[in-house]
Amino acid sequence: MNDVSYKPKWALEIERFIPIKSQFLLYGNVNDVYPSELAGGTATLGMADYLTELLKNHGYAVIAKFEPISGFSLLFGDTKLYERVVGEKPDRDGYIPCKLDRASDIISRMASSAEGHAAVILRFASRVEDLFDETDVETFFYRMFRLAMDTSPRLSPEDSRDDPRPLYNPVFWIMDKENDLPPWYILDNPRVRVLPVPRPDNTIRNCVVEAVSPKISGYGELSEEARVENLAIYRDQTTGLLAGEIAAIAQMARHENIPFSQISDAIRRYKLGIQENMWEKLDSAKIKGAEQFLNSRVMGQGAAVRHASDILKRSRFNLSGAQFSRHSQKPKGILFLAGPTGVGKTELAKAMTELIFGSPTHYIRFDMSEFAHEHANQRLVGAPPGYVGYDVGGELTNAIKQNPFSVVLFDEIEKAHPRILDIFLQILDDGRLTSGRGETVYFSESLIIFTSNLGMFEQLPDGTKRASVTPDMQRTEISSRIEHSIDDFFKYKINRPEILNRIGRNIVVFDFIRHDTAGKIFDRMLGNVKFRLEDSYDIRLVFGEDASSRIRELVCADLSMGGRGIGSNMEKILMNPLSRALCERGISTGEVRVTGINGSDENWELELE
């Protein structure tokens, strides 16, 4: 286990430079908490309290903070000494309210105090410009800049350290960003030390985890081996979270009675903001019959349906990514559906959604042809700070944040700009994505589906295109050619082999619609037409045997556009002349018998009894 007294780099730099620098600018992760070893054990402290503990160990006698609205308050030290140093008396609440001109006077007195080492922490300093007049702010910055130059390090008369060094009475600016102070204040200023405060690294996370874990129920009941393993899970699965969030997970586990042996469940609940695991709630009988259900919706694509049903069953038992880690954060499943147009790729995504959520419209769909430009990625993750739309967020990140249990469909992925495809590296590998606003959303409970028409055509030297695969080829040859084209596209055309590597063996090639399958699709579509007429108008559509065979033959004659082509042909050959006949004959209810069909592509006519 790590030593909880570990100090981050920025804290060590403060200790090193307080004899050399009179002011410090801390920016970045300044609103987090930080582990500190106290007399009663280890605690996580806010920035002001952490700095107070740090400075106390170096003999500082008075430590105060200033906030733009509240004013000054004492964090550590003797009250009488504090009042002598600042030259003011606090009110009954312990504050000295003041505006910027008086605040700079008090800070100057503290920085120049010879009675004992003093320090002042300016909290929420980035809000100064928002709360005060521009002239007052500029004057305040100038006076603080002059103070940084005019003060000197000194020994404290009460310093009891073995090796006392002259120390400054420092001023700490706690700010959101480095440029919240004017550039002239920082650049080439030998008295100001700028210190970025990063998100917690592995060691800091481990310190926090070890500090908060003993308070979770069941911690002391585990064996040493199990305890070490769960501590590692706690640390590793909170990568990217703030220390305060790591501590909040422990608090939530206590409130919801989640034992330490199930800490990964507490982390999942915190990240996703939900308690129920929708995958575990899936009806076992429904998942068992997944292949049969999907085959009824997507006809003639047995291999694709089998792969999809395997993913659903794997997700039901939380085995996605289990070969890489005991607690994988990867998406529940990944499918890359390739092949001819109109053969059921999008329909399979809808069918899987209906099987899981009970509705075929419950999926999130992105048409990637809309993301052909490099900066279109802002639509997915949101605009960066300072740009229009920053406060809105991204379409993808917002959707997943609202509903982590989702089927996400990226249609025609090859039409997106290569830079946009880089987004999927983080999604497929880590199961997370950071929005333009800096929020992290998690895809660990999502099913990711890509569709593509790659490999259908090849470009000739003269710029023309020809079909790479045709319906007269065997399925194995079609699959081989399309997979080779996908491989070539990611490895050589867009130079993104790492995306292909993360998709892995989840590429499923669809076959062309064959004539036996086309007949089944025709029958289902015709059934839909009959149902609509009878349900809406009580018109019962009946076909003579010869008419039905002839219409089926005409509708299924051209299968180059797959199921969508069959639907388009049915609209032209059957539905248009049927609608025309119903209107001309004034039929509003009853039985309508179709006995034949005449005409050509320009104009078809139905024979009705």
For 497, residues 6+ apart whose C-beta sits below 8 A from its C-beta are 490, 491
Q: How many whole angstroms separate alpha carbon 577 and alpha carbon 609?
A: 14
Domain spans of the chain, in order of start? 9-197, 202-272, 284-509, 515-608
User: Amino acid letter at 420?
Assistant: I
Concatenated DSSP letters of 532-549: HHHHHH-EEEEE-HHHHH
Across the strands, what pairs with 467? 457
Sheet of 118-122: strand order equals 95-96, 71-76, 62-67, 118-122, 171-175, 23-28, 192-197
Enumerate the H helices of 242-301 as residue ranges. 243-255, 263-272, 284-288, 290-297
Q: Which CATH fold topology does 515-608 show?
A: Helicase, Ruva Protein; domain 3 (1.10.8)
Q: What is the pLDDT of residue 117?
A: 92
Across the strands, what pairs with 365? 409
3-class DSSP assignment, residue 312 = helix
Q: Which CATH class is domain 284-509?
A: alpha beta
Q: How many whole angstroms separate alpha carbon 163 and alpha carbon 142?
A: 35
Q: Which CATH class is domain 9-197?
A: alpha beta
Q: What is the pLDDT of residue 386?
A: 64
**Cα torsion through 247, 250, 251, 256, rounded to 10:** 160
Q: What is the pLDDT of residue 40?
A: 60
Q: How many whole angstroms separate alpha carbon 261 and alpha carbon 220?
A: 10
Cβ neighbourhood burial of 268 (10 Å; 0-12, 13-18, 19+): buried
Q: What is the DSSP letter of 187?
A: T
Tokens (6 digits) for 409: 């469909």
Instruction: Confirm if 141 and 101 have CB atoms less than 8 A apart.
Output: no
Consecutive 10-residue runs of the chain (609 residues): their mean pLDDT? 67 95 96 82 88 92 94 94 91 92 94 91 94 93 95 75 79 94 93 95 91 92 92 90 94 94 90 72 81 90 87 75 64 89 88 83 88 87 71 84 88 91 89 85 90 86 83 88 93 91 89 89 92 91 90 89 90 92 86 88 84
User: What is the pTM for the complete model shown?
Assistant: 0.74
Tokens (6 digits) for 24: 């410090």
Instruction: Confirm if 109 and 147 have CB atoms less than 8 A apart.
Output: no
Q: How many whole angstroms separate alpha carbon 245 and alpha carbon 488?
A: 43
Q: Do 284-509 and 9-197 have the same topology in CATH?
A: yes
CA distances from 222 to 20, 65, 134, 231 (A): 49, 43, 59, 11
Which residue has tokens 């279109």? 376
Q: What is the pLDDT of residue 4?
A: 45
Q: What is the DSSP letter of 114?
A: S
Strand-pair category, 118-122 with 171-175: parallel
